[in-house]
Structure 1
Amino acid sequence: MNRVTEILGIDLPVIQAPMSWVTSGELVAAVSNAGGMGTLGPNAGQTTVASNAIETAERLRNEIRKTRKLTDKPFGVNYILTPVGAGEKPYSTAILNVLIEEKVKVVFTVGGSNPSEVKKLKELGFTVVYRELTPSIEGAKAAEQAGADIIVATGFDEGGSSRISQLEQ
């Protein structure tokens, strides 16, 4: 056991990335059943783009429920932070409502540094794993002060997504 496994309630320090379109209830449950932390991405199990925020959130609700049928182990769900000053975003709001209603315990956040939103998630009772979209020392410190339970430190390429975007241009 180490601090990460204790915080997440898992046996092994293995965390499956919340890859938006690649994850599914089956994959997440398999990782969790093996002792790690499976994580649903916002479009988990989908092959088509939803027409609106409510449909996206309801599809996620179905994957959460499917995951729960396949495992009684902890798992998390990805939540995209709203950038500071951007106002409320319909997709984030709809997904947050589902996470609350479905009593999800662990959220894996991604996005820009938004300490007030991290604090809100903590006040709602979530265990927060924070990964800044463009990692910075300042962002990590702000997330820690806001109550993030775990901070993911990545390189400049954030697991490859920045490099892929550059190659597509």
Structure 2
Amino acid sequence: MKRLALGLGALLLMLAGCTSDIDELKQWMEQERKDAKPTVTPLLPPKKFLPQPYEAGAGVDPYSPQKLSVAIKQEAAQPNSLLTAEISRRKEPLEAYPLDSMAMVGSLMRDGRRHALLRVDNLLYPVKSGDYLGQNFGRVTKISETEITLREVVQDAAGEWIERTSTLQLQEKGR
């Protein structure tokens, strides 16, 4: 009991000593509040919104398939365009898929010519030199044990049709 009384007495003495610190703190806070002068810039009133009717709806859609096909046909009609031969030929089945959806999974020799095996949508397709792949008029130019090299016809930044070389690498089993 004595210990409890001594502990309580010590606690009361400490609290009594803190009250002067608290009073001092309260006085300092009051002084700071009086001295503080907030500066708030007034808000500008909102601008009046005037709705405008949309008038371009009757215009020509620049991305319409008809307009794009006309542009490609016009480009192909030019005498030295790379697209001339590409537009007139019949499309092959693997031209419906982008190159990044294809994976080379193997190669084999048949009749003295190297063929590659491509996996597209979980189906295997044999490919030989001269076949077409991808959506950029890609034609297989070379097949090795580890890769397929093809020539694609693409538009550059200026809108000109140019050739570029792409490759499909042999994919390991874990991929």
Structure ranking higher in helix proportion:
1
Q: TM-score, normalised by structure 1?
A: 0.22
The higher relative CO (CA closer than 8 Å, separation ≥ 6) is in 1
Q: TM-score, normalised by structure 2?
A: 0.21
Structure ranking higher in strand proportion:
2
